[in-house]
A and B are shown apart, each in its own frame.
Chain A
Amino acid sequence: MLLEVKDLRKAFHVGLIRRKEIVAVDKVSFNVEPKKFISLVGESGSGKTTTAKMILRLVQPTSGSVMFEGKDVWRFKKINELRRYWREVHAIFQDPYASYNPLHKIDRILYQAFNLMEHSDTDRNKMVREALREVGLRPEDVLGKYPHELSGGQRQRIMMARCYMLRPKLIVADEPISMIDASTRAGVLKLFSKLREERNTSVIFITHDLGLAYYVSDEILIMYKGSIVEKGPPDEMMNNPQDSYTKRLREDIPLLYGKWDGF
């Protein structure tokens, strides 16, 4: 088992005098096996991003555990264990612009990946160029440029190129394609599948669009108000949803060939 999430719970406290508890994530459990594509689907506020942040060690859970290859990620004792975790688990966020320092050329974020690698004797320039070509970018188009000079699709592809260099075992992608153009979405989505086929990478894909999850997932988890309300293979979620919330999500997907009721 690559990743085991068990009874994860996160409660936020608000207010100074009258303390109020907001439960963002409650009793979330799921497993990720190697080479599996898991999608977390739900509307904004359903707790999917908080779940991702707890897996990435960015937010500490109130209770429950996240086990990566049998070790609790919140109980690492040595810095080496933590470094290894950073190398094996890669995050891709919704706004690709926010992942870059606007004052540095994009080369930096790619070369920084070498700091996490064990063997640094490789030909760095060659490796960066190869990774860029893998994700469908021409190195001469992007190297030496600043983040604002690139399109959203290009920026997200560069994050994917980093994945090709680091070869993580798990990618946590939080709405990676909702901010990029419809014309390049399919291309970025295909990169995830390619990475999985070639490198056996597992992916946790977070989205509000059940339609996108349908194409690439092995398993879809539907989140609503902090809990998982339904899970199963994509075909079942699409053709035979049981939960009323899943049914609604399915009906809300815009279709290209069919029309919605009442439109």
Chain B
Amino acid sequence: MALLEAKGVKAYYYVRQGQVKAVDDLDLAIERGITLGLAGESGCGKSTLVNTLMMNVKPPLHLVEGTIVLDGKVISNMDRSTLQKNIWGVLVSLVPQSALNALMPTMSIEGFVKDVIRHHMSVPDSQIISMTKKRFEELNLPVEALSMYPHELSGGMKQRAVIAISTLLNPKLLIVDEPTSALDVCCQKQVLRMLIDLRKTGITQSIVFVTHDIAVLKQIADWITIMYAGKIVESAPTDDLLNDSKHPYTFSLINAVVTPEPEVRKRGLTSIPGEPPNLLDPPKGCRFHPRCPKVMDVCRSVEPTLVKIEGNRIVSCHLFPSES
């Protein structure tokens, strides 16, 4: 059984102007022992999706429909206090965007760790500290950092410390939202290496990595899911997706990546024309049709469904009609 299974999830923001359909009727399964890359442009609903997957929904965001099963437990109907006690940090951890700013400026890292762990269990401080030290050593982080204050650490170090702290209780699923977007290329590599170590050492079973940079996913993800305007458009193993993308959006997204490689130099610099749609009023039919280079008449009126092609790959596009 998959570690996390979400079915028919609809997560809307209720605002004055109506409903922002940030996640609309979406199914997703996260298998055990994989790193799943979730990619898409800003505003496609990827951050909303990962927050919904761990049931971190606060007004104006509402889970309108759908069930979420995490490690055999239905979490979509749990209330916030149960989630806080039994699920978050224990079964699933989320490292949100710019989490490196989550550290308390007036508290040493050690103090911060104590504060966090006390919320989950009652153990003596000395035990918390020895546990954290051990974990920092396991992940090749300098133990001295524990007695330092956030301003004494570099951005990359802060981000790694935050990830190490959020996995202290060995959550089975770790969700990281754009963990490297604010970092330099050199710090980025260290953070990615640490995520790999987290899975190697068995601290976490699966990782969901949210980003808009597909080149980063090539390095660490086993499987990539592409989102557009609140929907999944394609999902496939990393190499299959990069070398043989099916959905026109995936193709444009990959072509927009700039890396110093001969393949990229040959195709030149391209970007996707236009802007992602306003989710208050998404386009009819396929949501990508106003920007799609291969748009057909059917795309403007009929919404495509996710179909299975070539093994486990799925794609949602009229170019790949379902067999039935």
Known: A153-B275, A184-B272. 20 other contacts (CB 8 A): A43-B186, A151-B42, A152-B42, A181-B212, A183-B271, A185-B256, A186-B269, A186-B270, A189-B269, A208-B185, A211-B260, A249-B186, A252-B185, A252-B189, A253-B185, A254-B213, A256-B261, A257-B261, A259-B218, A263-B193
- Residues B260 and A182 in contact, CB atoms below 8 Å apart: no
Interface residues of A in 156-185 (CB under 8 A from B): 181-185
- Residues A256 and B212 in contact, CB atoms below 8 Å apart: no
Question: In the complex where A181-B212, A256-B242 touch, is A215 in contact with B260 (Cβ < 8 A)?
Answer: yes
A-chain residues with CB within 8 Å of residue B269 when the two chains form the complex: 186-187, 189-190, 215
Nearest CB of chain A from residue B83's CB, rounded to whole Å: 31
A-chain residues with CB within 8 Å of residue B253 when the two chains form the complex: 182-183
Nearest CB of chain A from residue B244's CB, rounded to whole Å: 13
Q: Which 5 A-B pairs have the closest CB atoms?
A: A187-B271, A186-B269, A254-B215, A252-B185, A211-B260
Q: In the bound complex, what is the Cα–Cα distance between A253 and B192 (angstroms)?
A: 12
Chain B contact-residue range equals 35 or more
Chain A: residues with CB nearer than 8 A to chain B?
A: 43-44, 136, 141, 151-154, 181-190, 208-212, 214-215, 238, 248-249, 252-260, 262-263
- Residues B185 and A184 in contact, CB atoms below 8 Å apart: no
Q: How many A-B residue pairs have CB under 8 A?
A: 117
Nearest CB of chain B from residue A254's CB, rounded to whole Å: 4
B-chain residues with CB within 8 Å of residue A190 when the two chains form the complex: 269, 271
Question: In the complex where A181-B41, A182-B213, A184-B272 touch, is A255 in contact with B189 (Cβ < 8 A)?
Answer: no
When C-beta atoms are compared, the residue in chain B nearest to A211 turns out to be B260
Nearest CB of chain B from residue A203's CB, rounded to whole Å: 15
B-chain residues with CB within 8 Å of residue A141 when the two chains form the complex: 275
Nearest CB of chain B from residue A249's CB, rounded to whole Å: 7
When C-beta atoms are compared, the residue in chain A nearest to B220 turns out to be A263
Is there a chain A Cβ closer than 8 Å to B254's Cβ?
Answer: yes
When C-beta atoms are compared, the residue in chain B nearest to A248 turns out to be B186
Question: Can you report 10 A-B residue pairs in the complex whose CB atoms are below 8 A from each other?
Answer: A44-B154, A182-B257, A184-B271, A184-B272, A189-B269, A214-B260, A255-B215, A256-B259, A257-B218, A263-B196
Is there a chain A Cβ closer than 8 Å to B79's Cβ?
Answer: no
- Residues A186 and B271 in contact, CB atoms below 8 Å apart: yes
Contact with A along B32-48 (1 / 0, CB 8 A): 00000000011100000
Q: In the bound complex, what is the Cα–Cα distance between A208 and B181 (angstroms)?
A: 12
- Residues A186 and B258 in contact, CB atoms below 8 Å apart: yes
B-chain residues with CB within 8 Å of residue A153 when the two chains form the complex: 275
Q: In the bound complex, what is the Cα–Cα distance between A181 and B213 (angstroms)?
A: 8
When C-beta atoms are compared, the residue in chain A nearest to B261 turns out to be A257
Nearest CB of chain A from residue B308's CB, rounded to whole Å: 26
When C-beta atoms are compared, the residue in chain B nearest to A184 turns out to be B271
Is there a chain A Cβ closer than 8 Å to B301's Cβ?
Answer: no
Is there a chain A Cβ closer than 8 Å to B219's Cβ?
Answer: yes
A-chain residues with CB within 8 Å of residue B155 when the two chains form the complex: 44
- Residues A181 and B263 in contact, CB atoms below 8 Å apart: no
A-chain residues with CB within 8 Å of residue B242 when the two chains form the complex: 256-257
When C-beta atoms are compared, the residue in chain A nearest to B271 turns out to be A187
- Residues B215 and A256 in contact, CB atoms below 8 Å apart: yes
- Residues A238 and B184 in contact, CB atoms below 8 Å apart: no
Q: In the bound complex, what is the Cα–Cα distance between A16 and B242 (angstroms)?
A: 56
Give the contacting residue for A249; candidates B185, B218, B271, B276; CB below 8 A.
Answer: B185
Question: In the complex where A254-B259, A263-B192 touch, is A43 in contact with B184 (Cβ < 8 A)?
Answer: yes
Q: In the bound complex, what is the Cα–Cα distance between A153 and B254 (angstroms)?
A: 18
Nearest CB of chain A from residue B283's CB, rounded to whole Å: 16
B-chain residues with CB within 8 Å of residue A188 when the two chains form the complex: 271
Question: In the complex where A189-B258, A256-B254 touch, is A183 in contact with B212 (Cβ < 8 A)?
Answer: yes
Q: In the bound complex, what is the Cα–Cα distance between A206 and B232 (angstroms)?
A: 35
Question: In the complex where A43-B184, A151-B43, A263-B196 touch, is A256 in contact with B275 (Cβ < 8 A)?
Answer: no
Q: In the bound complex, what is the Cα–Cα distance between A136 and B242 (angstroms)?
A: 28
B-chain residues with CB within 8 Å of residue A208 when the two chains form the complex: 184-185
When C-beta atoms are compared, the residue in chain B nearest to A41 turns out to be B185
Interface residues of B in 108-137 (CB under 8 A from A): none
Nearest CB of chain B from residue A224's CB, rounded to whole Å: 11
Q: In the bound complex, what is the Cα–Cα distance between A189 and B252 (angstroms)?
A: 16
Is there a chain A Cβ closer than 8 Å to B188's Cβ?
Answer: yes
A-chain residues with CB within 8 Å of residue B275 when the two chains form the complex: 141, 151, 153-154
